[in-house]
Every structure is written in structure tokens, then in C-alpha cells.
């Protein structure tokens, strides 16, 4: 854990962005191989609207808002109540943050499951840099934004 934590910011962002890409690709691969049927909870698509609106909301606004809500706020509340036992409860913190992140993306069951995994990675990244709240917030928002940028480019130009 110490070696990842000590990476320079650019390498930290690249490492976690790549990790999220790998997890999402594996999730999609398993979904395809086993032909898992999704259960939709809404007709509203997370990337609906014009490409400009989708870009602004998905690549700029959502990562900032969601990093505040699902990583920073959860971490701060959790550390306030469990400050003496934060190290022992880090897996619970990752699970809680990931669960809230997944539930916050309630478009479909598979989408919630994949974003749960992404949320776990984002919370872990946040925790590694939590000593510097500003840096942890910025780095995690950038990681999230890069993932959403990939999704935007793929959905807008390649599908």
C-alpha cells in the first residue's frame, strides 16, 4: 500500500485510471461471456442528451460532485465516528463508499454492480491520499473524470 501511496500524482492517477479500465473491461467481458441479462430500473440513460451536455455533466460536473459525496464526505463522516479504528475498519469504509457509489448509479443492476467496483477503487485511492484532503479530492476527481471521458468518447464516437 505504501508504494502506491507514494507515487507521484501523475503516476497515481494513471495507475488508478488503468485499474478502473481493467476492472470495467473484465466486468463487461464476464457479462458478455455468460450472456447476463441486465435488469433496468429506469428508462433514463445516464448519457442521454446532447454530446455537449453529456460531456459537461459526465466528465466535469459528476466527477466533482460524486467525489465530494461518495468519497470525501463518506471518508470524513466515517473517520469522525471511527477515528481511532480507521485502519482496522478500512475495508468497511471502502465497502460503504462503494455501496453508496453503486446505489447512486441506479440505472440498472449491472450498472450498479460495475459502479460498485469502480467506487471501491475510487474510495481506496481517496484513502491512500487522505492525509492531504485537497490532493486526494483532486486526484480522485481526475481519475473519475478520465474514466467518464473514456466512456463519453466510446459512447459518442465509437458506438
Residue range 53-76, pLDDT digits in tens: 999 999 999 999 999 999 999 999
- How large is the average pLDDT for residues 81-93? 77
- pLDDT at residue 76, rounded to an integer: 92
**Residue 54: how many CB atoms within 10 A of its CB?**
19
Instruction: Report the alpha-carbon distance of residue 31 to residue 38 in Å, rounded.
Output: 9
pLDDT of residue 109: 94
CB 113 within 8 A of CB 27: yes
- How far, in Å, CA of 60 to CA of 105, rounded? 17
pLDDT > 70: percent of the chain? 93
pLDDT over 70 at 85, yes or no:
no
Collapsing DSSP to helix, strand or coil, 82 comes out as coil
Ramachandran angles phi, psi of 40, nearest 5°: -85, 140
Structure-derived torsion over alpha carbons of residues 29, 143, 102, 34, reported in degrees to the nearest 10: 0
pLDDT in tens, 18-67: 999 999 999 999 999 999 999 998 877 666 678 999 999 999 999 999 99
Model pLDDT, residue 36: 94
- What's the pLDDT score for residue 82? 74
Cα–Cα distance, 82 to 92 (Å, whole number): 11
Amino acid at each position: 500500500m505504501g508504494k502506491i501511496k507514494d507515487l507521484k500524482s501523475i503516476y497515481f492517477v494513471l495507475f488508478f485510471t488503468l485499474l478502473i479500465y481493467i476492472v470495467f473491461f473484465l466486468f463487461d467481458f464476464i457479462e458478455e461471456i455468460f450472456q447476463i441479462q441486465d435488469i433496468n430500473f429506469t428508462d433514463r440513460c445516464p448519457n442521454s442528451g446532447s454530446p455537449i451536455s453529456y460531456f459537461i455533466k459526465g466528465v466535469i460536473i459528476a466527477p466533482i460532485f460524486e467525489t465530494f459525496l461518495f468519497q470525501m464526505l463518506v471518508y470524513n463522516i466515517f473517520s469522525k465516528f471511527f477515528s481511532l479504528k480507521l485502519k482496522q475498519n478500512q475495508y468497511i469504509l471502502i465497502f460503504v463508499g462503494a455501496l453508496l457509489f453503486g446505489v447512486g448509479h441506479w440505472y440498472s443492476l449491472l450498472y450498479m454492480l460495475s459502479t460498485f467496483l469502480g467506487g471501491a477503487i475510487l474510495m481506496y485511492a481517496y484513502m491512500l491520499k487522505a492525509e492531504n484532503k485537497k490532493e486526494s479530492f483532486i486526484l480522485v476527481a481526475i481519475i473519475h473524470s478520465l474514466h467518464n471521458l473514456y466512456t463519453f468518447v466510446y459512447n459518442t464516437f465509437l458506438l
